[in-house]
């Protein structure tokens, strides 16, 4: 594939396709492409601060459920997030 290609076609077993469709249907991923990209990131170590897409979604959901913020500045929030990521 050339550098300008942004699409690929793959063949999956029925079992793998069913797993992919189920993960998307359950909301673990927004699309099949998102799941496949997450799998590549996990395999190559090119991840999102050590979190999978599913974990980031869960963290986002927890954040929304926690309610209104505590009056922190964006810099304070960023510093706290970096500290948490380093602690992992």
In a domain, 6, yes or no: no
Total domains in the chain come to 1
In a domain, 51, yes or no: yes
Beta bridge partner(s), residue 51: 48
27 Cβ contact partners less than 8 Å away, ≥ 6 residues apart: 57
In a domain, 8, yes or no: no
45 Cβ contact partners less than 8 Å away, ≥ 6 residues apart: none
In a domain, 28, yes or no: yes
In a domain, 9, yes or no: no
In a domain, 63, yes or no: yes
**What is the total residue count of the chain?**
88
pLDDT on residue 57: 84
In a domain, 2, yes or no: no
Domain residue limits at 24? 14-87
pLDDT on residue 43: 74
Residue 82's pLDDT band (cuts 50, 70, 90): very high
pLDDT in tens, 15-55: 999 999 999 999 889 999 999 888 887 777 666 777 777 78
pLDDT on residue 71: 85
């Amino acid at each position: 594939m050339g550098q300008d290609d942004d699409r690929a076609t793959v063949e999956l077993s029925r079992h793998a396709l069913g797993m992919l469709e189920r993960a998307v249907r359950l909301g673990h991923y927004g699309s099949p492409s998102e799941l496949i990209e997450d799998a590549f990131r996990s395999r190559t170590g090119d991840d999102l601060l050590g979190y999978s897409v599913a974990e980031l979604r869960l963290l986002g959901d927890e954040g929304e459920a926690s309610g209104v913020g505590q009056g922190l500045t964006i810099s304070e929030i960023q510093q706290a997030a970096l500290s948490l990521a380093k602690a992992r």
